[in-house]
């Protein structure tokens, strides 16, 4: 079965389970950020396992499901939990839920993540608008024969993160009185956190935050023509920038601490996009 046929089949199942809804805004909710989907009205929860052909998330704190609902009247479709290469999935498999959402009608994708900060002046809890990324991960979501019905063989990535959406995000943050930093996200394989030397390297090559996701999702979304906005929640300092040892519980604790601000920002951004 071709990739196009796989995506078409997954999309058909998802569309049926959406019960006639046609959301245009999709969200990927990273570690500790999944509760945003709980703010939706008229929720429909669809586990990835209920869509034949989609892998299921294995990371603690990632529910591994789609959540459909409305936010101030705007139909949205969120991923509560994502797939990572370190779980044993190929790069192509990690982006299957993204491709399925886009094939089901999503034209705008808001991707969030929890990340380690490389700027010592950005304390945990800082929100960073992603302006670009540097992908250091193994494998590639576009490896293998290209399916032209999904997108071009060589997609342009000059504006991987939509400038229009970034301007909307900055205006939304200003409206709320929220500080939104801007920077470059460096994507690594994980699951081990970076070493201090790797953190120094990431800073030298132009990075502002490090994480284990996002870049492949953005590539797949742009391949299929969706526009993308990315926001990182800086949940910890990169290794070597603090005396604290890194722990996943810290990631979720900080994400929970800024949850109200982050959710408010996402709500305002979605409202502005929908107007």
Of the residues 9, 50, 86, 171, which is catalytic?
A: 86
**Looking at the predicted structure, is the pLDDT value of residue 62 above 60?**
no
- Looking at residue 63, its pLDDT comes to 80
Closest among 27, 34, 81 to 57, alpha carbons compared:
81
- Looking at residue 30, its pLDDT comes to 86
Average pLDDT over residues 33-43: 92
Annotation marks residue 62 as catalytic: yes
Reported as a pLDDT band with limits 50, 70 and 90, residue 126 is very high
Is 22-80+94-140+155-274 CATH 3.40.50.1580?
yes
Closest among 252, 218, 219 to 233, alpha carbons compared:
252
Of the residues 9, 50, 87, 171, which is catalytic?
A: 87
**Looking at the predicted structure, is the pLDDT value of residue 60 above 80?**
no
Of the residues 37, 75, 78, 84, which is catalytic?
A: 84
Question: For 72-86, what is each residue's pLDDT tens digit?
Answer: 999 999 999 899 999
Of the residues 248, 250, 253, 272, which is catalytic?
A: 248
Annotation marks residue 31 as catalytic: yes
d(CA 191, CA 221): 23
Give me Rg for the CA atoms of the chain: 17
CA distances from 12 to 5, 44, 127 (A): 10, 16, 36
Q: What is the DSSP string of 152-189?
A: -SS---TTSS-HHHHHHHHHHHHHHT--EEEEEEEE--
Average pLDDT over residues 137-145: 96
Average pLDDT over residues 37-44: 94
**Looking at the predicted structure, is the pLDDT value of residue 214 above 70?**
yes
Q: For a pLDDT cut of 70, what percent of the chain falls above it?
A: 98
Annotation marks residue 212 as catalytic: yes
Average pLDDT over residues 184-194: 96
**Looking at the predicted structure, is the pLDDT value of residue 223 above 90?**
yes
Annotation marks residue 87 as catalytic: yes
**Looking at the predicted structure, is the pLDDT value of residue 59 above 80?**
no
Annotation marks residue 114 as catalytic: yes
Q: What is the mean pLDDT of the chain?
A: 94
Q: Which residue has the higher pLDDT, 55 or 99?
A: 99
- Looking at residue 80, its pLDDT comes to 94
Bridge partner list, 229? 110
Of the residues 160, 212, 220, 226, which is catalytic?
A: 212
- Looking at residue 61, its pLDDT comes to 56
For the chain, what are the domain ranges? 22-80+94-140+155-274
d(CA 223, CA 160): 10
Annotation marks residue 84 as catalytic: yes
- Looking at residue 34, its pLDDT comes to 87
Whole-model pTM above 0.85?
Answer: yes
Reported as a pLDDT band with limits 50, 70 and 90, residue 165 is very high
Of the residues 79, 96, 103, 114, which is catalytic?
A: 114
Of the residues 31, 162, 216, 232, which is catalytic?
A: 31
Closest among 275, 261, 267, 235 to 180, alpha carbons compared:
261
Average pLDDT over residues 49-59: 85
Contacts of 106 (CB under 8 A, 6+ apart): 23, 24, 25, 26, 77, 226
Residue 227 has φ and ψ, to the nearest 5°, of -95, 150
Of the residues 62, 75, 133, 223, which is catalytic?
A: 62
Of the residues 11, 188, 213, 216, which is catalytic?
A: 213
Closest among 101, 117, 76 to 263, alpha carbons compared:
76
d(CA 134, CA 198): 13
d(CA 91, CA 113): 17
């Amino acid at each position: 079965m071709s990739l196009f046929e796989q995506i078409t089949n997954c999309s058909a199942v998802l569309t049926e389970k959406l019960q006639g809804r046609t959301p245009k805004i999709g969200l990927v909710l990273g570690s500790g950020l999944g509760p945003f989907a709980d703010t939706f009205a008229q929720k429909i929860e669809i586990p990835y396992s209920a869509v034949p052909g989609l892998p299921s998330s294995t990371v603690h704190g990632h529910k591994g499901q789609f959540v459909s609902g409305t936010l101030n009247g705007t139909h949205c479709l969120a991923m509560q939990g994502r797939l990572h290469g370190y779980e044993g999935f190929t790069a192509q498999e990690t982006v299957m839920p993204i491709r399925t959402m886009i094939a089901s009608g999503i034209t705008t994708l808001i991707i969030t993540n929890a990340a380690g900060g490389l700027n010592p002046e950005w304390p945990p809890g800082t929100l960073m608008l992603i302006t670009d990324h540097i992908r250091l991960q193994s494998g590639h979501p576009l490896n293998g024969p290209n399916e032209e019905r999904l997108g071009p063989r060589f997609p342009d990535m000059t504006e991987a993160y939509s400038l229009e959406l970034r301007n909307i995000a900055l205006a939304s943050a200003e409206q709320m009185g929220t500080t939104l930093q801007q920077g470059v996200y460096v994507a690594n394989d994980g699951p081990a956190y970076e070493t201090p030397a790797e953190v120094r390297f990431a800073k030298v090559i132009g990075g502002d935050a490090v994480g284990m996701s996002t870049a492949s999702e953005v590539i797949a979304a742009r391949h299929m023509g969706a526009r993308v906005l990315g926001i990182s929640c800086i949940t910890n300092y990169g290794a070597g920038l603090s005396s604290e040892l890194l722990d996943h519980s810290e990631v979720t604790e900080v994400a929970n601490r800024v949850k109200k601000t982050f959710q408010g920002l996402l709500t305002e951004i979605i409202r502005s996009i929908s107007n």
